[in-house]
Amino acid sequence: MRLKKALLSTLVVGMMVLTACAQSGPDYTVWIPDQNINDLNLGDDKVVTQSSRVIPSEEEYTSVDELAKKLLNHEDISEAVYKNQLINGSYVDLSEAISGKRTIIYVSSSEGNNLNDGRTPATPKKSFEKMSQSAGVAVLLKCGDTFEMSDMFYVGDNTVFCSYGEGPRPVLDFSQRVEEPLVNVRGYENIWAVDLSRTVFYNKEKSDESNYNFGQLYLDDECNWNRLVVSTKDMPTANFAELLTERKDNCWAVDWMHGVLYLYSETDPNVHEVRLSSARHGLNFKEIRNAIVSDIEIKGTGVDGAILTNCTDVTITNCLFKNIGGALAGGTTRYGDGIRLGNVEKNITIKNNVFDNVFSSGYCNKGLAVTDRQENIVVTGNIFAHCNSGIEQYDDYQCLVPIKGMSIENNLVFETCDVTNPSFGKYVDDRGTMTNGLAEVPSYRNDTLFDKSASATFAAYQSPKEVKISNNVFWGTTRFLMLVDATHGYPEISDNYFFSRSNSERDCLFGYSVTTDASETMYFAKQLLEDTNKESVVVVSQDVIDSSYVPSESLQELKKVLGSIVGE
């Protein structure tokens, strides 16, 4: 509960400027309302799918703090969205929800004292970690404060977790400081090392790599994702100093067998504060009923920012999830989502949040098992910036009870990329060959480099009309604008807005896996084409049926049937 009037709490995206090439027609300045993208008024300009590639001027990898400046051109709207959504969060009046709780606790890391009762803003406590798993409480954190988290926080039943005061969201920082100095490795001018067994990260009860599984490294507040992973079988004989010297680019590695962190740095890293993010979630909702989290920044988690398992009546709104993921999930695979859902979920709302720099997906709903059931899941009004996949929604094909009431609407997915190399394009042509001609992609992902790299990844549903994917903006990507697994059916996708900065006609921007049945392939392709041909929807790409996943015989038949729609 902020001590301000509610200000544009439903507003997420404002004036969007798309600067087209000269041959593709005039510039478009369009209003993207929170209500419905069909309300767009484009005047007399006819928007078609077969326009030339749009290459925005001076477009490079952009921090989310610059997002409003690049996309919003109306001064009043830019100010409101920039300050109150990206920086401070849109204000939400939670007074009614808070007053219904048994206990209200104010917490301030800058002004609090744990001897205080915490019952008023004038007598706040200093920390709240001991309230993990507490039920029936409203925990209010002071705006502008940073809370250093030593472990994940379990949100309890019947709780509200939000902020008070004015200013930026309170920050939950899940990274931890390396107290020991790094020393220069003899014989290697730019290699530095520190014995982590002497630090807070060491747990004597564990003897495996989990002691030293980190997703990110920080020098001051600059996040470094460049972890060079060495497999367990190669670790006993690995020369870490040599490996990092060959790679350079400020990469780092962990020899967990000996508890040593290595860092390549051409300057002394000890002049900075060095921090690491351990392999843990931020907020953990496990079998929770009735919880609200609002106006909080979750930062520096090695795994997921928030994870929900078997929950009912949970709302996460106006939060900022920044620098999420990157830890190992066994072997050499790195992972971590902004918000991840799984198993049985009912009445879940993910609204008006910002996700910035997420190793895997901003929002991810994992594949559902036979006994899982999901109902009334709403993902709306969120900004996903710089995630490997903005939105990832898997199918319910194996469930005994199909999904009911799934809505993914009015989200902005901006610059999907590999956070370890955000500016490198991983485009392929319709044969799956990289269009830039490189055999390898410079990356520290260590898994299938192309896997789920898309603005959005969707799979099939037993009841497509129960899953609404509409009015979203997919703006910029280094891979696919949309990736769809339609092997068992076709999700309903309508009234979305697609934009790509790709400048090669060979780049395949839509990928979908289908059965070899040509009629089923044509059905889905036509559905997507009809979506992207609507007057209120812009797609800047080549023919959307050029896909590395479509059988060649089906592709030929598609072009015959849909020639009148997509042109030759």
The end-to-end CA distance of the chain, in Å, is 56
User: 193 in helix, strand or coil?
Assistant: strand
Q: According to the model, what pLDDT value does residue 168 have?
A: 85
Angstrom distances, CA of residue 25 to CA of 83, 475, 492, 507: 33, 19, 30, 21
pLDDT at 515 > cutoff 70: no
pLDDT at 291: 96
Global pTM reads 0.81
- Note whether 358 and 336 are within 8 A (CB): yes
Give me 337's structure tokens. Answer: 């989502």
- Give the model confidence (pLDDT) of 80-130 as tens digits: 444 555 555 656 778 888 887 778 999 999 999 999 999 999 999 999 999
Check residue 337 and report its DSSP letter: -
What percentage of the chain has pLDDT greater than the value 70? 68
pLDDT band at 222 (very low <50, low <70, confident <90, very high): very high
Report the share of the chain in percent with pLDDT over 90.
38
How far is it, in rounded angstroms, from Cα 229 to Cα 555?
40
Q: 488 or 433: whose pLDDT is higher?
A: 433
Determine how many CB atoms are found less than 10 A away from the CB of residue 280: 20
Nearest C-alpha neighbor of 406 from the set 383, 380, 375: 375
- Residue 537 is predicted with a pLDDT of 36
List residues bridging with 299 in a β-sheet: 173, 322
- Residue 317 in 3-state DSSP? strand
Tens digits of residue pLDDT in 387-445: 999 999 887 777 778 888 889 988 888 889 999 988 888 887 766 677 877 767 788 98
At residue 21, does pLDDT exceed 90?
Answer: no
Q: Where are the domains of the chain?
A: 16-87, 175-277
Q: Supply the mean pLDDT for the chain.
A: 74
* Whole-angstrom distance, CA of residue 495 vs CA of residue 288: 34
For residues 117, 137, 286, 343, the Cα torsion angle rounded to the nearest 10 degrees is -160
